[in-house]
Amino acid sequence: MSDFVYKGLRKRIIIATVIISVVLASIVYLTNYRQIDTSVADIARDRAERFNLVFDNLLNDPANLDPDAIRNALIKFSNTHTQNHIGEFIYVTIFDKNANAITQMAEADAEAMIEITEISKSNNDRLKSTTTTYLQSFQIDNRYHVYIQVPLWNSSGNISAIVEGIFRVSDEAINTIWTKTFLTILFAIGIVMITAIILYPVITRLTKRLARYSDALLTSNLETIKVLGSAIAKRDNDTDAHNSRVTIYAILLAKEINLDPLKIQSLIKGAFLHDVGKIGIRDNVLLKPGRLDNDEFDIMKTHVNHGNEIIAGLHY
């Protein structure tokens, strides 16, 4: 099998490896970030539920929430729920059901607080209608953060307050994402290469078999042309010599203009069979030794139509 086929296979394997690796890496990357969002939501809901259980008495009357009591409860609660391996809350504000701030805790620096304030303002309208957990991902100083709103329910099953928080994702969690992404790329490359090693011999064998079939078909095609040429020669030796000359001239001219080799092959077929229609010319005209009269010449010219009919199904 020629080198260009091997090169083509290798090129396609490399392209497939790159594409599959990029696609899988992207999927893993996005999936892991979504998992972080999900984990943050779970943490927030869990802590909201714990806050509800521990300080349920502070939330029973939504119209008369005690800011100082809730702040003290929040401080006490925060001291018993420290940083998670995924990250930590750096900002928490508790609002009443009318979106009025009751108390706030913040551990972010001044620059981060500017962005946090902007995020909070942009979601202020959502507070009044919050009935489920809401998440929004964003970046502060190239660090991944998650904005979250979680409703707090009293024992009567009514919303008493809404917790607004900013969760800063830890470097450990981000590094885990990149590690998983990198391992996925290696895994994808390994799978593609193993698959290629298994399939490459099969593909080459099939390609060689196809090449043999193509050679056999080409040989059969050339033999058919040879038979047609022989049929012409049996009727008119001059035509046989003329066909050979035309074919040789055609090849020389094609090489002179640097015609593509595949097109030269087609040209050879056409040149060799260009007078095949003379098979349909009567002997008294085709084999006449002297000059043809006008009627005979008209008959001779019909060999073009005969030739077109004969080779109508031949592709070249």
Q: pLDDT tens, 129-152?
A: 888 888 888 888 888 888 888 888
- Both 175 and 281 in one domain: the answer is no
- Both 146 and 46 in one domain: the answer is yes
Q: Does the pLDDT of residue 227 top 80, yes or no?
A: no
Q: Does the pLDDT of residue 221 top 60, yes or no?
A: yes
- Both 41 and 175 in one domain: the answer is yes
Stretch 310-316: mean pLDDT: 70
Q: What is the CATH number of the domain that holds 33?
A: 3.30.450.20
Q: Is the pTM of this model over 0.95?
A: no
Q: How confident is the model at residue 316 (pLDDT cuts 50, 70, 90)?
A: low
Q: Which residues make Cβ contacts (< 8 Å) with residue 238, sequence separation at least 6?
A: none
Are 146 and 169 in contact, with CB atoms under 8 Å apart? yes
Q: Identity (one letter) of the amino acid at 27?
A: I
Q: Does the pLDDT of residue 187 top 70, yes or no?
A: yes
- Both 9 and 125 in one domain: the answer is yes
- Both 162 and 299 in one domain: the answer is no
Question: Nearest-CA neighbor of 41 among 150, 115, 124?
Answer: 150
- Residue 141 belongs to a domain: yes
Question: Nearest-CA neighbor of 292 among 304, 279, 302, 305?
Answer: 302
Last residue of a domain, one of 152, 182, 212: 182
Domain that holds residue 168: 3-182
Report for 92-96, 107-111, 142-146, 306-310: range of highest mean pLDDT: 92-96
Q: Identify the DSSP state of 84.
A: B
pLDDT for the residue numbered 109: 81
Q: How confident is the model at residue 259 (pLDDT cuts 50, 70, 90)?
A: confident
- Residue 172 belongs to a domain: yes
Quote the CA–CA distance of 74 and 310 in Å, as a whole number.
Answer: 96
- Both 129 and 256 in one domain: the answer is no
Q: How confident is the model at residue 18 (pLDDT cuts 50, 70, 90)?
A: confident
pLDDT for the residue numbered 159: 86
- Residue 226 belongs to a domain: no
Mean residue pLDDT across the chain: 80
- Residue 316 belongs to a domain: no
- Both 271 and 129 in one domain: the answer is no
- Both 245 and 158 in one domain: the answer is no
- Both 299 and 173 in one domain: the answer is no
Last residue of a domain, one of 182, 197, 220: 182
- Residue 202 belongs to a domain: no
pLDDT for the residue numbered 8: 75
Stretch 53-74: mean pLDDT: 81
- Residue 151 belongs to a domain: yes
- Both 176 and 92 in one domain: the answer is yes
pLDDT for the residue numbered 225: 73
| SS3 of residue 111 by DSSP | helix
- Both 164 and 281 in one domain: the answer is no
pLDDT for the residue numbered 213: 84
Of 117 and 242, the structure prediction assigns the larger pLDDT to: 117
Q: How confident is the model at residue 40 (pLDDT cuts 50, 70, 90)?
A: confident
- Both 37 and 158 in one domain: the answer is yes
Stretch 258-279: mean pLDDT: 80
Q: In what order do the strands lie in the sheet with 159-169?
A: 101-106, 87-96, 159-169, 143-153, 134-140
How many distinct structural domains can be found in the chain?
A: 2
Q: Does the pLDDT of residue 264 top 80, yes or no?
A: yes
Chain-centroid distance of CA 29 in Å reads 16
pLDDT in tens, 106-132: 887 878 888 888 988 888 888 878 888
| Two tokens, residue 19 | 């594409």
pLDDT for the residue numbered 84: 64
Last residue of a domain, one of 182, 199, 216: 182
- Residue 261 belongs to a domain: yes
Q: Does the pLDDT of residue 50 top 60, yes or no?
A: yes
- Residue 248 belongs to a domain: yes
